[in-house]
Amino acid sequence: MMKTTLFRIVAIAGFIAIAIVVRSRRSWRSKSKWLASQLMQQQQQQQNQQHDISLTTIAMIEDDPSFQDLPYVVKRYLRKALQLGSDDTTTTTKQVPWIQSVQFQQHGTFRIHGIWVPFVATQYISAMDPIGFLWDSTVLMVSPWGLDMPVSVRDAFMNGKGSLEASLGHMLTLANLHDNPQIDLGEEQRWLAEAVLIPSALLPSKQIHGVLSADTKRKRNS
């Protein structure tokens, strides 16, 4: 009789634990989808309000004084990445593709404490004003007992604010960082580092000028 009762208690506890994990996972995924939709919705709104920037021509870029003022190595990178051509061979009436956002899947490994651990992620990057990104990943950590532990990590920069969340099995919060100037600065710098994936966003523009100005201001205040 006691064994039967104990079995029932363990079974009920197991079902409750599973229900909590499933609910927590759904909550995490739901928030990730909401953040992604917010990022893409902002882009769509800006796209509807602005002129068709995809009609920018090479001549318009090359004749822009702010482009000419860029360091040589930066101009060389942009000419290569955007296929602007050299100063001698450029077809100035050619239209330049203006990438407004990217979405992609990642899989690879992180080196953590000398151990390579696998991860998978989905990332969204927006070059529209306001710029932003969302990195939603699962890192498979190894416990001291040799068990695989999935750690969910969500890295984001939206509306000028950065955030970093990490959760073990969608149940135990490992990190929940936001409303912090240092986090804002770090996430903003990550956007800049990954902007090479959308090279047209690195052309002299109001967005980039605003980012660099805010970046400099945060560094002075830190």
> Per-residue confidence at 133, pLDDT binned at 50, 70, 90?
very high
> Per-residue confidence at 115, pLDDT binned at 50, 70, 90?
confident
Taking residues 188-202, what's their average pLDDT? 87
User: Are the C-beta atoms of 43 and 128 separated by less than 8 Å?
Assistant: yes
Q: CB count, 10 Å around CB of 200?
A: 20
> Per-residue confidence at 153, pLDDT binned at 50, 70, 90?
very high
Handedness of CA 166, 170, 174, 175 (dihedral sign): positive
User: 139-148, 183-192, 203-212 — which is least confidently predicted?
Assistant: 203-212
For 207-217, b where at least 16 C-beta lie within 10 A, e where not — what string? bbeebeeeeee
User: Are the C-beta atoms of 127 and 198 separated by less than 8 Å?
Assistant: yes
Is residue 14 pLDDT above 80, yes or no?
no
What is residue 55's predicted lDDT score, i.e. its pLDDT?
46
Taking residues 130-154, what's their average pLDDT? 85
Q: CB count, 10 Å around CB of 145?
A: 6
**What does the alpha-carbon distance between residue 9 and residue 21 come to, in Å, rounded to a whole number?**
18
**What does the alpha-carbon distance between residue 75 and residue 87 come to, in Å, rounded to a whole number?**
11
Taking residues 31-50, what's their average pLDDT? 71
**Structure tokens, 125:** 């990057």
Q: Residue 156: what residue type?
A: A
Q: Residue 46: what residue type?
A: Q
The domain segmentation of the chain, as residue ranges, is 3-56+98-221
Which tens digit of pLDDT belongs to each residue from 58-74? 667 777 778 888 888 88
What is residue 190's predicted lDDT score, i.e. its pLDDT?
93
Residue whose pair of structure tokens reads 């890295």 in the numeric block: 155
What is residue 29's predicted lDDT score, i.e. its pLDDT?
81
Q: What is the 3-state secondary structure of the chain? A: CHHHHHHHHHHHHHHHHHHHHHHHHHHHHHHHHHHHHHHHHHHHHHHHHCCCHHHCEHHHHHCCHHHHCCCHHHHHHHHHHCCCCCCCCCCCCCECCCCCEEEEEEEEEEEECCEEEEEEEEEEEECCCCCEEEEEEEEEEECCCCCEEEEEEEEEEECCEEEEEEEECCCEEEEEEECCHHHHHHHHHHHHHHHHHCHHHHCCCHHHHHHHHHHHHHHHHC
Pick the residue with more confidence: 208 or 77?
Answer: 77
What is residue 220's predicted lDDT score, i.e. its pLDDT?
47
Q: What are phi and psi of 95, to 5 degrees?
A: -80, 145
What is residue 144's predicted lDDT score, i.e. its pLDDT?
64
Pick the residue with more confidence: 135 or 51?
Answer: 135
What is residue 156's predicted lDDT score, i.e. its pLDDT?
95
Name the percent of the chain lying above pLDDT 90: 25
Is residue 209 pLDDT above 60, yes or no?
no
Pick the residue with more confidence: 129 or 207?
Answer: 129
What is residue 6's predicted lDDT score, i.e. its pLDDT?
63
Is residue 94 pLDDT above 80, yes or no?
no
Pick the residue with more confidence: 49 or 31?
Answer: 31
